A and B are shown apart, each in its own frame.
Chain A
Amino acid sequence: MAIEIEGKSLETDEEGYLVNLKDWVPAVADAMAKEDDLELTEEHWEIINFLREYYEEYQIAPAVRVLTKAVGKRMGKDKGNSKYLYALFPYGPGKQACRFAGLPKPTGCI
């Protein structure tokens, strides 16, 4: 599979995750969101950027439980909860947000 971004075809796996992390540009997230009928807001980007930083530091995409806790620590309890994160990413803040962020499927998501 592949996704067309800015005239380039980027390889994705069977679940739609980017195969090469380095291919990612912000337009990837916008395009993937559009396919999921989502419009990315500042709140979405806050989580997407957080995930990319997490990956940069630890070399893994965090499980949703870990993401929730880490967001809570960084941005406060009103954002570090499942309700807030699922409202932003209805297909799952782990799976969907990681995909938008160009990361692999979270380690620990079954």
Chain B
Amino acid sequence: MAEEIKNFLYLNRRAPYGTIYAWESLEVVLIGAAFDQKVSLAFLDDGVFQIVKGQDTTGVDMKNFSPTYAALGDYDVNQLYVERESLEERGLTVDDLMHLTWEDEDEDWAEKDSIRVVSRAELAKIIEQQDVVFSF
């Protein structure tokens, strides 16, 4: 029997440095990406703070893992959903986020945007369409 490809969604709802959740999520995503599954990430609530640009942890003695989000494309994780309402509630716009892209090997490494801003209602439907949802 052929292995069935499943849709995995990681829900990221926490800010990056106050707890270990954000980094743990990212590590699990990278490890999980080794298996041939369709992986996407959602950033909502305080999770949107994870991908804000300009992070610099030199003053707090913690690893700045924000550059690692830019590697997700290399791991074939190309779908990053960001909830519009969560951004707005926090006074953010998409311009405050890192510009995350992936390169399409089939189109001579054409660079494409990974981030897709979606409404809360759209995200609810995206969650519904998944086979498995992991929460962090």
CB pair A58 B31 closer than 8 Å = no
**Other-chain residue from A58, A69, A108, A109 in contact with B67 (beta carbon distance below 8 A):** A58
CB pair B64 A108 closer than 8 Å = no
B25 to chain A, nearest CB (A): 13
Q: Which residues of B contact A69 (CB under 8 A)?
A: 74, 105
B15 to chain A, nearest CB (A): 18
**A63 CB–B CB distance under 8 Å:** yes
**B27 CB–A CB distance under 8 Å:** yes
Closest A residue to B33 using CB positions:
A108
**Other-chain residue from B34, B63, B74 in contact with A59 (beta carbon distance below 8 A):** B63
A78 to chain B, nearest CB (A): 16
CA distance A86 to B10 in the complex (A): 33
Q: Which residues of B contact A62 (CB under 8 A)?
A: 71, 74
Q: Which residues of B contact A63 (CB under 8 A)?
A: 30, 33-34, 75
A17 to chain B, nearest CB (A): 16
**A70 CB–B CB distance under 8 Å:** yes
CB pair A58 B33 closer than 8 Å = no
CA distance A69 to B65 in the complex (A): 22
CB pair B68 A60 closer than 8 Å = yes
CB pair A60 B71 closer than 8 Å = yes
CB pair B30 A59 closer than 8 Å = no
Q: A107-B27, A107-B30, A110-B34 are in contact. Are A59 and B103 (CB under 8 A)?
A: no
Residues of A whose CB lies within 8 Å of any CB of B are 57-60, 62-63, 65-66, 69-70, 73, 107-110
8 contacts between A and B (CB under 8 A): A59-B64, A59-B67, A60-B30, A66-B71, A107-B30, A107-B31, A108-B30, A109-B34
6 nearest CB pairs, A to B: A58-B71, A107-B30, A66-B74, A108-B34, A59-B67, A108-B30
Inter-chain pairs besides A57-B67, A58-B74, A70-B74, 6 sampled, C-beta below 8 Å:
A59-B63, A59-B64, A63-B34, A69-B105, A108-B31, A110-B34
Residues of B whose CB lies within 8 Å of any CB of A are 27, 30-31, 33-34, 63-65, 67-68, 70-71, 74-75, 103, 105, 109
